[in-house]
Structure 1
Amino acid sequence: VDEVSLIQAGLWGAMHSRLTQIMGIHSNTAIFGNVGIIAIGDFYQCSPVASSSIYSSLLWSDHFEYVELKINERQKTNIFFSQMLNRI
């Protein structure tokens, strides 16, 4: 799921319900129908319009592993530009 920070918390619940239904899972402990979810996004960018993001829900803290990428691969050959971006 790309741009995870823009997705409303309620939509994650709908995704969980639908995947559980599609996978035929009838357990209360099967999150997202036991389907692995990769969520990518920048929580320092925009928030969902008129709603809270998944980051503010228990679903996020209980079922997602957070990995912070710290190396800017796109600008790693242009040190000046990379340093300028880091100061913003």
Structure 2
Amino acid sequence: MGFSTVLCLPLWVSRTLLGVLTICWTEPHEVSITERATLTATSRYIAQAVERALYLDERISVAWQLQEAILTDLPLADHVEISALYQPSANDSMIGGD
């Protein structure tokens, strides 16, 4: 790929490896102690942000599943047309409301 120097930093959260942050230079580069410390701290922040995003995605998925389980089909009745409209209290989580 044409990289001369590659630095790989693990993205750890709660004893779980989410992935690896890879930083590449096309020219030879000696990573200083200060630079390594800064990039290591940055990788921890990135791991925390990814963990929060995954948690939020899971919460939204659970909310959708719960909402689908609660909202059942309307009963069928002779000579009567029944309809309903659900308005969630918040658009992003789609839960709550009437």
Normalising to structure 1: TM-score of the pair?
Answer: 0.22
Task: Report 1 or 2 for greater relative contact order, CA contacts < 8 Å, sequence distance ≥ 6.
Answer: 1
More helix by share: 1
Normalising to structure 2: TM-score of the pair?
Answer: 0.20
